Amino acid sequence: MTLGIQSSQTSSRTARAERFLTEWLAKADIRFNGDRPWDIQVHNPDFYPRIMAQGSLGSGESYMDGWWDCEQMDEMFSRLLGARLDHELPTNWILVMDVIKSKLINRQNKRWSKTVAQQHYDLGNDFYKDMLDPFMQYTCAYWKDAQNLNQAQEQKLDLICRKLGMKRGMKVLELGCGWGGFAHFAAERYGCEVTALNISEEQVAYAREYNRNLPVDIQLKDYRDATGLYDRVVSIGMCEHIGYKNYGTFFEVIHRSLKDDGMALVHTIGGNASVVGMEPWLDKYIFPHAVLPSIRQLSHQMEHRFVVEDWHNFGPDYDKTLMAWYENFVRNWPRHKEKYGERFYRMWSYYLLNCAGSFRGRKNQLWQIVLSKYGVPGGYVSVR
């Protein structure tokens, strides 16, 4: 009798969850078990109450578990996030606890900040080489006049150098250098001397070898430990790992590292609203302790430190970049399948396509911000 009651309650809960989610997704023209490529195909009915209880974390984990599929997941997320429907799900305890932890703890202090390097960026250089371009750029490319990923990433690097008026002999500080692609480009193409800081051991090892014949000094060091004075300071794709408690420190490091007539450029993903933490699934599986800054959070810390010379948003280019990474990932997956396994494949697919959809739906943006200490004499000329 008890088992029958429990089974009936479970069935009723599943039915209620399915009805709610069906009506919810209809607002974005998404159906369960429909015939369009962006419709969700449900393989396990426990999917419905799991989403109601766990939100985005349950969505990602249930996909990794094989509970659902979607032929065109990037478009599904574009419709979902573009309609801002993620805010209409009931608040769950996972999200509440993440917010509390983010407010009580500096999750991006020197000790905690190493987590993302160890979990994500140290995943394997060979894996990333098969997904990225020859410059190993793991940030948004610039697709204006570009026909493919390699051209778009090279244009991004050149765009940064042109925005900063790079010249031979300039001393450049890069905060968070990835695999050393920008340092290599700035040294080889523009004749700059580059000091680059990074806390990922795998990336540092690769970057040192990649730049061994150039005037580039790759240091295994936290950005907060930067020393010296430079003509230019660059940060490409690191601000997402700074954390809202540390934006002031980040901009103070840039300010103290710049000569009085110097300029800086910050290249970062940004959100449309101020938050204190990352979406739970991405935080757990992809970018631990990351958080996307808002205009208000960044501009508040720029006050009394900088003149904002330029603020360029080309967020839709990240959609193209992520889809190009996804194509490379799928094409080269047979080389990595044995090492990483099927669950990793589903996790990585969900990550890349979810993020592509978020930029296509304009939930997330990509900013390049040019800063000077006292203003460029005569005015700064924007470069696009």
Based on the residue annotation, tell me whether 355 is a catalytic residue of this protein.
yes
**In the chain, where does DSSP find H-type helix?**
2-26, 47-64, 73-82, 93-104, 114-116, 125-131, 149-163, 181-190, 201-210, 247-257, 280-285, 295-302, 316-332, 337-360
Catalytic residue among 70, 177, 192, 355: 355
**354 within 8 A of 361, measured Cβ to Cβ:** no
| Cβ atoms < 10 Å from Cβ of 87 | 8
Eight-class DSSP state of 245? G
Looking at beta carbons, which pairs linking 44-51 to residues 24 or more positions away fall under 8 Å?
44/68, 45/14, 45/18, 46/14, 48/14, 48/17, 48/18, 48/21, 49/13, 49/14, 49/17, 51/17, 51/21, 51/89
Two tokens, residue 186: 């700035």
Q: Which residues are catalytic?
A: 355
